[in-house]
Copies of this chain bind each other. A is one copy, B any other.
Amino acid sequence: MRLLLIHADYIEYEPKEKTKFAEDWEPKKERIEECLVVFTSVEKGDENVVDRAVEEIREVAKKLNVDKIVVYPYAHLSSNLADPDTAVAVLKEIESKLSQDFNVHRAPFGWYKAFKLSCKGHPLSELSRSIVVEEEKEVTQALKAEEKVKS
């Protein structure tokens, strides 16, 4: 799983058009303020790393002291995507588990969406995580080091 975590003043989005993998969804404009937006690429095998992903997201959200999390499916962070059914199942599980502690909004999978995003710009306002089944520890550490080189 690849995550891009943005501490946002707001995100607004509107589902505009279905892909053939579109979730059944009543498209309407949404706006969430003062939140952590989690752009998420679900990769092959990720049904096995949901708890790890949830823990990473939870840790960042607590550090930023946000109570709202937006889980936003985002295919563009990976070239090794899970099939759509698995992706939706994983996203729903993340939503459900985070909902124990946070106010969670999940954006629909498989829609072309317009969005407006305002990233705060402080050093922790853009982070990324890569969570894999094997060699988990190594990958997470590599990405934590990478934060220091961000641009």
Contact = CB atoms under 8 A, between A and B. Distances in A.
A12 to B, nearest CB: 9
Contacts of A19: 148-151
Contact of A77 (B73, B77, B114, B139): B77
Interface in A111-127: 111-123, 125-127
A94 to B, nearest CB: 14
B128 A76 contact: yes
Contacts of A73: 151
Instruction: State the oligomeric state as a number of copies.
Output: 2
A139 B116 CA distance: 30
B121 A114 contact: yes
A77 B109 CA distance: 20
Given A4-B76, A81-B149, A121 B113 contact: yes
Contacts of A125: 112, 114
Contact of A14 (B81, B121, B123, B150): B121
Given A17-B122, A76-B126, A114-B125, 20 more contacts: A14-B121, A21-B149, A73-B151, A75-B149, A79-B130, A79-B143, A79-B146, A84-B149, A87-B151, A110-B151, A111-B151, A112-B150, A114-B118, A114-B120, A115-B119, A115-B121, A116-B116, A116-B118, A117-B117, A117-B119
Interface of A: 4, 14, 16-17, 19-21, 73-77, 79, 81, 84, 87, 109-123, 125-128, 130, 139, 142-143, 146, 148-151
